[in-house]
Structures are given as C-alpha cells and as structure tokens.
Amino acid sequence: MSSLEPSLVLGSASPRRAELLRQLGVGFTVYAADIDETLLSGEQPRDYVERMAREKSEALDLASGTVLLTADTTVVLREQSLGKPDDKEHARAMLNALSGRSHEVLTAMCARDHGHTELVVVRTLVEFGELSRGLIEEYLATDEPWDKAGAYALQGLGGSFVLRVDGSVSNVIGLPLFEARELLQRFGLVPVLGKATA
C-alpha cells in the first residue's frame, strides 16, 4: 500500500453533495458525469439508484491513485421512483402525492479505484404534513423544486413540509455522511472532521 493518500474525485454536479462532502474535511475535485438518467420500464427504485451511481462512475475516467465517488438519490412513494420534476405541473403532482404521507429516500453511493468498486445504498423515511394548495403554489413560485428528486429540498423551504425523519438527514439532501465517511475510509481516505479542504 502506498504511503501517499489517494486523491478523491466527486463525480457529481450537485452543489449539495459537494457541500456535504466538504464537511468531512477531505480534499476533492469535481467532474460531473453526463449520462441518461431515464428510469427503465419496470425498474425498481433501489435497482435504479444503484444503476445510476454505477453508470456515473463508469462514465468517468479514473486516474492512477484516485478514488472516484458517485451518487444518485431518488424519492420513493408507493414503490415508485419520483425523480426531478420535468415542469411545474409535474412538480405540483409530486407535492400533492407526497402531502400527508410518508415516503422513502434512497441514495446509492459508488466508490471506485483501480483495485475495486464498492456500492452502498442508504434508506431514510420522511413523513410530510398536509400541504395546502396555496402552500404548494407558493413553493412552486420559488427556484427550489426544479433540480430536486421529489420536487423538494429538505435543507431549504421544503424542510417546513416535513413532520419527521427516520434515518440519515444528509441522505435526504443527497449524501449520507456517516456511510460516506466509512466508505471513504475503506478506500484509504481519512476524513478530518470539521476541516473544509475542498
């Protein structure tokens, strides 16, 4: 094993994932993967996020001495994946469906170096309160819903829709930090908690 610590690449364009990863104090660079994120016919939500995380990883070149981390998050309601909304009507339908119900958030993380690949899936249960038509319309008038799975952001105004969270809060935002820290440690990257190095 080399005495040099491997470098980390985050294969994601998500500013939320980058912000969360900085909390671990591991230096990294960002290269976004451009892939087709279409859900396959009959594909189960867990299979979907696993495939997305893996395909994002495979779409990027891996330099020597580098660890590549990719991830994908989906909101699951009644065993159906709710991705990012296509338009305002789609976002409205998602929020109406989530109102007053519990849903799952699944994030798959894929870490890869030249030696091996490891995939981890984390599940969080989120319960929404009842959302009035007026509240949904006010939210749709903001910039927040448009690039978020399930059309809401827990870390933003959408957090006021949530009655309770059972599991990792950071998972709902896009990167489960406990599991990410442990995963990176298995690849020889030692987080320095509280030290923002990226």
Catalytic residues, by residue number, are 72
Query: Which are the contacts of 131, defined by CB distance < 8 A and separation ≥ 6?
Result: 95, 96, 98, 99, 100, 161
Question: Could you give phi then psi for residue 126, rounded to 5 degrees?
Answer: -125, 135
In 7-116, the DSSP E strands lie at 7-10, 28-30, 66-77, 80-82, 102-112
Number of residues that this document lists for the chain: 198
User: Which secondary structure element, helix H or strand E, spans residue 27, and what is its range?
Assistant: none
Q: Could you give the CA distance from residue 13 to residue 70 in angstroms, rounded to a whole number?
A: 10
The Cβ of residue 66 has, within 10 Å, a number of other Cβ atoms equal to 17
DSSP lists the bridge partners of residue 74 as 106
Q: At what angle do helices 15-22 and 177-186 cross, to 10 degrees?
A: 70
The Cβ of residue 197 has, within 10 Å, a number of other Cβ atoms equal to 11
DSSP lists the bridge partners of residue 123 as 106
